[in-house]
Amino acid sequence: MRKLILSLLGVLLIVGAYFGSRKIVESNQRERPKPKKIIKTVFVDTIINGVVPIKIEANGNLVAQRRLELFSEVQGILQKGGKLFKPGQVYSKGQTLLRLNSAEYYATVQSQKSNLYNQITAIMPDLKLDYPEAYDKWQTYLNNFDIDKAVPSLPEATSDKEKYFITGRNINTSYYNVKNLEQRLSKYRITAPFTGILTEALVTEGTLVRPGQKLGAFIDTEVYELEVAISKKYADLLQVGKKVDLTTIDGERTYKGTVARINGNIDQASQTINAYIEVKDKNLREGIYLEASLDAKEETNAVNLDRTLLQPNDQLFVVRDSVLDLIDVKPVYFSEKSMIVKGIPDGMSIVDKPIPGAYAGMLVKVYQEKNQSLSEKTDKTLQ
């Protein structure tokens, strides 16, 4: 009997423990709160189509329109000049940029001049006897012959006999030999073809200069050019003489340029055409990076929007009765940050800022304090 009573008590204890534990577990369960439905606030703009000017944006580095690469055609020691041959040195038109030692070659030229003078002197007695009508002009030529100056042109023959006589004595050959030497002698001195500045100097005083050696670079600081690549679809819109707005990369300075030339060839790889913009300003320097904005054409019945608003398949989000919807649009031009779009009805409210996770049919709330119309943007240029 005692064992029976103990067994019943054990069973009752186990059953009580089971139900007690379930009671404790059920009492600790908390109801999960129902998620609150969040309605996102969006910014909208009311569309008013208008005329939007398209500006083609391009950029590049300035180069001098007139740039002279200095090379030597003769050999010699670079001599000291009136100015140091150093970068930044300014030279006026006709001023000597550099001079090579030409003493040895100069002596050769003088020797050939003297030889020509002696040849003409030797034929003078024959001229007086056989061609007296030609004697006076050749005598005048000898009287005006100055060995320290450039050889003057030979007198023109008045008859075939005189011409054959002069040619037979090798007078013409000697004359042209001297002129050739004089031309080469002039290459020992390089003068400035225009007023400008030396931007590069690769030799110094006392340097042995050899033929074909580059000596430096000389530029005209009055006029610069900016080479820009424009898409071929705007090639027919480019015209020589069109005004161009130029801006530095920091946006602090602006300049006015003019389309000076347009390349007739389209780059096959990039499908672009090069245009050259001429600009004048005393503050410009070669190598400055500038951004150009060229007036192309005007699009009517269009608006200017941020290009980040465009969705796949050329669609935009609009708000209809506090619900997002997608409409098809026609983008006609893209710049780095903006786009020109056509096909949006006037008065439609479009989403002005991107919405993360947006989808058609999404319930939204319009931000009421946003009260700016896109009509203000239609008169602005794409940035």
Examine the pLDDT at 383 and tell me if it is beyond 70.
no
Query: What is d(CA 92, CA 196) in angstroms, rounded to the nearest whole number?
Result: 7
pLDDT at 111: 95
The residue ranges of every structural domain in the chain are: 1-30, 42-51+299-376, 67-101+188-219, 104-186
Q: Which H, E and C letters describe 287-304, residue by residue?
A: CCEEEEEEEEEEEEEEEE
Q: Would you identify the CATH topology of the domain 42-51+299-376?
A: 2.40.420
- CB 246 within 8 Å of CB 255: yes
The neighbouring-strand residues paired with 330 are: 342
Per-residue exposure over 291-315, b if at least 16 CB sit within 10 Å of its own CB, e if not: bbbbbbeebeebbbbeeebbeeeee
Strands 224-231 and 272-279: antiparallel
Per-residue exposure over 129-154, b if at least 16 CB sit within 10 Å of its own CB, e if not: eebeebbeebeeeeeeeeeeeebeeb
Segment 44-81, tens digit of pLDDT: 888 899 988 888 888 889 999 999 999 999 999 999 88
Q: Would you identify the CATH topology of the domain 67-101+188-219?
A: OB fold (Dihydrolipoamide Acetyltransferase, E2P) (2.40.50)
- CB 358 within 8 Å of CB 32: no
Mean pLDDT of 81-98: 91
pLDDT at 65: 92
Mean pLDDT of 285-305: 87
- Token pair recorded at residue 294: 């060229």
- Token pair recorded at residue 240: 């020589």
- Token pair recorded at residue 372: 């700016």
Mean pLDDT of the chain: 86
Phi, psi of 118 (to 5 degrees): -65, -40
Examine the pLDDT at 293 and tell me if it is beyond 80.
yes
Segment 124-181, tens digit of pLDDT: 998 888 888 989 999 999 999 999 999 999 999 888 888 999 999 999 999 999 999 9
Query: What is d(CA 11, CA 14) in angstroms, rounded to the nearest whole number?
Result: 5
Residues 6+ apart with CB under 8 A from 60: 226, 227, 228, 229, 289, 290, 292
Instruction: Compute CA 209 distance to the chain's CA centroid, rounded to the nearest angstrom.
Output: 34
Q: Which pLDDT band holds residue 102 (cuts at 50, 70, 90)?
A: very high
Query: What is d(CA 101, CA 265) in angstroms, rounded to the nearest whole number?
Result: 46
- CB 257 within 8 Å of CB 100: no
- Token pair recorded at residue 144: 């005006």
Q: Which pLDDT band holds residue 321 (cuts at 50, 70, 90)?
A: confident
